[in-house]
């Protein structure tokens, strides 16, 4: 499978390049970067710390889609929405790891998925996708006597908060309880907040260092507490998941899929 990487000079982009080069059955189709990036014209493999391949970083995503079977996108929401439209127009599969997508971006992805295969997941690791399932299950068993709080910590460069994974965990908890996260979520607390609202799902965001991604879902009852935790030690787990998703797209019908579909966890 020929896999193209948009945003190939980013932290995840470089990781993806290295993983593709190390995975049987995958071929690197090329990579792009944002218009004006000083990485344009450099060797895609070399900037990822691998041996030069003779493929240069471009700024023409359309050209990359044309030579790829599947494109992997860990960039920015606006870019991802444009890439989804290209994937639909050209009939290429798209793997979306970008987080911070708003309702408009998600609606663009959903429209594009009528014509092509799109896999979108805020977290591509096997462990986190298991955690999503467990969170939904535990929230379904416990009543709202157990307050749900979701705590996440990421490296200092992360630009969105709470993390896409924390929000996905919130959604899983809300689904387990049969409530709508938009109505039950408490994203920020500051100053005189008053007591906790029963049934709310709270979020807390920590940033610092080079942490790849820590997430804990806390179910706090009277006299006992259950905590489900996942810690990513290395970003390679996300890249491996994305490549697994790329390989999985072969032969799938158009649609918007999750990592739980790819891993067969649903």
Q: Closest separation between CB of residue 212 and ligand NAD, Å?
A: 8
Catalytic residue IDs: 154, 158
CA gap 40, 98 in Å, rounded: 21
Q: In what order do the strands lie in the sheet with 255-257?
A: 27-32, 2-6, 70-73, 93-96, 117-120, 255-257
* Options 44-52, 110-118, 121-129, 141-149: segment touching ligand NAD (CB under 6 A): 121-129
Nearest-angstrom CA–CA distance, 110 and 86: 13
Q: Is 10 in the site for ligand NAD (CB under 6 A)?
A: yes
* Cβ partners under 8 Å of residue 53, min gap 6: 28, 43, 44, 45, 46
Question: CB 18: neighbour CB atoms within 10 A?
Answer: 16
Q: Which is nearer to ligand NAD, 99 or 249 (CB)?
A: 99
Question: Judged by CB under 6 A, which stretch of 41-49, 91-99, 108-116, 133-141 contacts ligand NAD?
Answer: 91-99
Cβ neighbours for 18, distance < 8 A, ≥ 6 positions apart: 48, 49, 50, 239
Compute the distance between CA of residue 133 and CA of residue 19 in angstroms, rounded to an integer.
Answer: 27
**Cis-peptide, bond into residue 247, ω within 30° of zero:** no
Size of the site for ligand NAD (CB under 6 A): 24
Which of positions 15-44 make contact with ligand NAD (CB under 6 A)? 32-34, 37
Does position 6 interact with ligand NAD (CB under 6 A)? The reply is: yes
| Nearest residue to ligand NAD, scored by beta-carbon proximity | 10
With CB under 6 A as the contact rule, which of the stretches 94-102, 107-115, 141-149, 244-252 interacts with ligand NAD? 94-102
Assess contact for 206 and 219: CB atoms under 8 A: no
Q: Does 98 bind ligand NAD (CB under 6 A)?
A: yes
Closer residue to ligand NAD (CB): 74 or 219: 74
User: Smallest distance, Å, CB 35 to ligand NAD?
Assistant: 7
Q: How far apart are CA 212 and CA 106, in angstroms?
A: 24
| Per-residue interface string for the shown chain with ligand NAD, residues 69-88, x marking contact by CB under 6 A | -----xxx--x---------
**Rounded to the nearest whole angstrom, what is the least distance from the CB of residue 109 to ligand NAD in the complex?**
13
- The smaller minimum CB distance to ligand NAD, of residues 14 and 184, is found at 14
Contact indicator for 12, 235 with CB cutoff of 8 Å: yes
> Which residues contact ligand NAD (rule: CB under 6 A)?
6-7, 9-13, 32-34, 37, 74-76, 79, 97-100, 121-124, 238
């Amino acid at each position: 499978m020929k896999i193209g990487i948009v945003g190939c000079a980013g932290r995840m982009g470089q990781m993806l390049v290295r993983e593709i080069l190390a995975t049987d059955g995958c071929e690197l189709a090329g990579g792009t970067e944002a218009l004006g990036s000083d990485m344009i014209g450099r060797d895609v493999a070399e900037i990822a710390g691998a041996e030069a391949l003779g493929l240069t970083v471009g700024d023409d995503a359309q050209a990359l889609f044309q030579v790829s079977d599947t494109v992997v996108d860990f960039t920015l929401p606006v870019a991802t929405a444009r890439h989804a439209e290209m994937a639909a127009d050209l009939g290429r599969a798209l793997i979306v790891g970008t987080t911070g997508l708003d309702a408009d971006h998600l609606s663009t992805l959903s429209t594009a998925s009528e014509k092509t295969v799109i896999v979108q997941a805020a977290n591509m690791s096997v462990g986190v996708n298991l955690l999503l399932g467990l969170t939904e299950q535990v929230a379904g068993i416990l009543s709202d006597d157990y307050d749900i709080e979701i705590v996440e910590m990421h490296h200092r460069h992360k630009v969105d908060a709470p993390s896409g994974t924390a929000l996905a965990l919130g959604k899983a908890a809300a689904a387990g309880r049969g409530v709508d996260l938009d109505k039950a979520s408490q994203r920020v607390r500051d100053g005189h907040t008053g007591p906790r609202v029963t049934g709310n799902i709270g979020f807390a965001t920590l940033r610092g260092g080079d942490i790849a991604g820590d997430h804990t879902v806390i179910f706090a009852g009277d006299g006992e507490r259950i905590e489900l935790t996942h810690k990513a030690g290395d970003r390679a787990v996300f890249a491996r998941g994305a490549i697994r998703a790329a390989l999985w797209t072969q032969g799938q019908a158009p649609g918007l899929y999750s990592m739980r579909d790819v891993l067969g966890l649903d």
